[in-house]
Homo-oligomer: A and B are copies of this chain.
Amino acid sequence: MEFSDNKAIYLQIIEYVHENILAGKWHADERVPSVRDLAVELQVNPNTVMRAYDQLQAGEILYNKRGIGLHVSADAMTLITAKNREIFLNRELPAFFRKMDLLQISPEEIMRLHKLRSED
């Protein structure tokens, strides 16, 4: 996996976990890779993975079985989609619409580009 430079790596790892759960690769109550393993896999400092896992626990996406490891919460998928949708609809979408206005790009143009992309 490659990381973008303009975003903290631990945040990109959080998104990576989100996507794995949403995509159904990591199931509810399944054990997630250990900090060490994921650090090796992503070629990243273990502290960085730790930080991402910490935050995921705080957000109740992951939970800890003592001595065994971190696991995917039962409602992880629901939580992630709910939070993502909330941010998308209330924060990103308005900004997106404002930018469309500013650049004088019509909704029809957006639709056209979206269709184009789907055909690829």
A residues touching B (Cβ–Cβ < 8 Å)? Answer: 3, 5, 8-9, 19, 22, 45, 58, 63-64, 66-67, 81, 84-85, 88-89, 92-94, 96-97, 99-100, 102-103, 105, 107, 110-111, 113-114, 117
| Cross-chain contact A117 with B96 (CB below 8 angstroms) | no
Number of copies: 4
Contacts of A113 in B (CB 8 A): 89, 93
A3 to chain B, nearest CB (A): 8
Q: What is the bound-complex CA distance between A99 and B91, given in angstroms?
A: 13
A75 to chain B, nearest CB (A): 17
A105 to chain B, nearest CB (A): 7
| Cross-chain contact A103 with B117 (CB below 8 angstroms) | no
